[in-house]
Amino acid sequence: KSESTVSTFTIGDINITLTESSADSQPVKIIPGIDIGKDPKVTVEPNSEACWLFVKADETNWPDFKETSGTERKVSYSVAVGDSGWKALENVPGVYYREVSAEDAQRGDAYDVNCNVTVSQMLTKAEVNSIAAGTQPRLSFTAYAVQRLGIDDAAAAWAAANNP
């Protein structure tokens, strides 16, 4: 009879938080020609696992006023990609992702989501006044994390998250 070998299994875990400065949680005025910065921040809490980290931007009651060209919106938003580390998820509008290494997840890191709302100088008072009370535009952000191990690309990770 041999000696027994014992394997102890632990549970991997990913914990994230999403915050935004308190000033950004207050109503923001749409003023022609004025850009509005948004600064959500996703934190992967210490002792988490390597993960795919996602941020989804959702528009509610977003005005669809068009520029003279007919293609550009007079009120639009964009999330900084590239140098910021975030990438747009192909074929899924409003979803951005990044990979978080095991080392960064263990340490716990925060990732800024630099978003800019651009308001055209061509936005008219009549267009602004046409936004009815109770239907003001809203831009909300939600963060998601999916384990990195065993999932080779962001699209598969997003699908695994069971997101719409």
Selected residue with higher pLDDT from 128 and 87: 87
Instruction: Summarize pLDDT for 26-69 with one digit per residue, the tens.
Output: 667 888 898 988 889 999 999 999 999 999 999 888 888 888 88
Tokens of 109: 């890191």
**CB-CB contact of 146 with 54 (8 Å):** yes
Least confident of 87-91, 108-112, 117-121, 160-164: 160-164
3-state SS assignment for residue 154? helix
pLDDT score at 14? 93
pLDDT score at 82? 87
Tell me the whole-structure pTM to 2 decimals: 0.86
**Alpha-carbon gap, residue 64 to 46, rounded angstroms:** 41
Q: Which amino acid is at 146?
A: V
What value does the mean pLDDT of the chain take? 88
**Alpha-carbon gap, residue 122 to 154, rounded angstroms:** 38
**Alpha-carbon gap, residue 152 to 37, rounded angstroms:** 33
3-state SS assignment for residue 59? strand
